[in-house]
Structure 1
């Protein structure tokens, strides 16, 4: 990763990796010291002396475990001009607060001053700043980009917001530390210094995370791509609700039609009707999935499991199964059965003209008994 100053990394000076062990450090140091020792280069005394001093300094730091640990933690800040060069480190991170204003862009186009071009550059800068603090293994990492006005929601917009809404800076923020632990007189004091330094670093990281996430929220609220997707989802949900209502009404009409055909079947007919009501919910869910599967591709969005009694969709069959065991669901099922039974009774009353079909049956049986009585006496 590139450095912003002329200061060269100690590992680069000794030409070793950052996980090199002590033997590798010593071997490389001896080879370079022999090559650049002024006594070996009498015709380049000045240059070799300077280079030899840099090699010696690098080895002095990396060969001492405590010095090396401190250097590893503060490496980026040192290379950027602070932490040990007699200079105070300047954090030149992008000031995101200037972008909490609609005046920073002109319109919602892709031109240089448009919404998508401006904020695309903002997040590219933030990600580039983090690049300098990523480990060697993560140097190739690239955060999702903001995209353009016509970018796909699923492929670009959603991944962008999923990442940046949970942004965590990888900057070390070692430049906010108050104590130099190398100056600690004993282990106890050093631990206390480290604890205080960590508290300061964590506070700085949290502040940066909150700044960036707040900016993401500000942008998302105004992103036309997000607004269009939300409108599409609202229309989708309305369509789902409409289709669900149509199917629910259709099933109820079918059951009421069946009830009209139960003329003189007595209570057995009512029992069968109750059984049908109990099966309604499961039949509705399965039949809805089968019918939706035969529709065009754009209709596949209506395959979610649905509870008729509660008028509610679920993401999976398992979620629906858990819901069916809830007290609220059972209450709604009982209420639905009661409502449909009342509707059936009202229909029977309006069609038959009698209050109780069973009483009519009993009355006809009594008349038949009276007519046959004289025959028995003869």
Structure 2
């Protein structure tokens, strides 16, 4: 496996714009369609370019890669043992090396084949689950978390199983003791003080190894999740559901808006019809006793679609303004005065004329 910076021909200090530019250049250079004479090599290099960009374009993954680059690039456990990767002690032979799995080169295709994505990651997480179960048994905590850890599953696994897997491993906490990380043997201490110092140093080393291992397993789960096509399919389905809900909600709001507009139009038409009938009846009954100026103003207002108060001889711009006016004290006084005048006129019309004497 080559360094991602080397694949894209970048400096370690390259910014986001430089990474994008280098990716486009390399992808164009190694695209299989551009290299028909060496298609097999081009396909391999193109996959390598895409994998490098996936890591370096993600700030979180890039930070993890930068801090563990030497371990990820180490090709074998022999090389690790020859260096200073484990200064406090040697890990047991069955301790899995997780760093090679932080690369798309560890699998071939997103399928269930022997080298497929789902087979490769199912295998490494199954190994981790077995070791955790054994560690709990050795420490006398076999009853804690007795349920087996969720497996990675195949390409067609149900979403609930996929969700359970990532929920478990992205919140992973190991049960291992990491006694192999001890640098000193307290039993060989010359006195109590030295023994306590040795024990304290060993405890710090174990704690550091535990934190590093927990973080590595969680990062590996996150690495796999980002590339898991099952997760991508679920996210796409959820996005479509959100769009469908938004479209349905918009249709509902549009229908309500149209219904309100229809009701408003119907109400206004009926109101003007009623107002026209009332105005006509009033003018007929009043005859010559009504104020001709008020009648003409009311008829003009009705014809123009305006709101008119006959008692106060006023025009209003809106129904709310007319309603507020009709609740006023001044309007009530004018209505009462108009009623008295009309009642007096009615009585005069009903009384017979007085007979002349003589």
TM-score of the aligned structures, taking structure 2 as reference length: 0.48
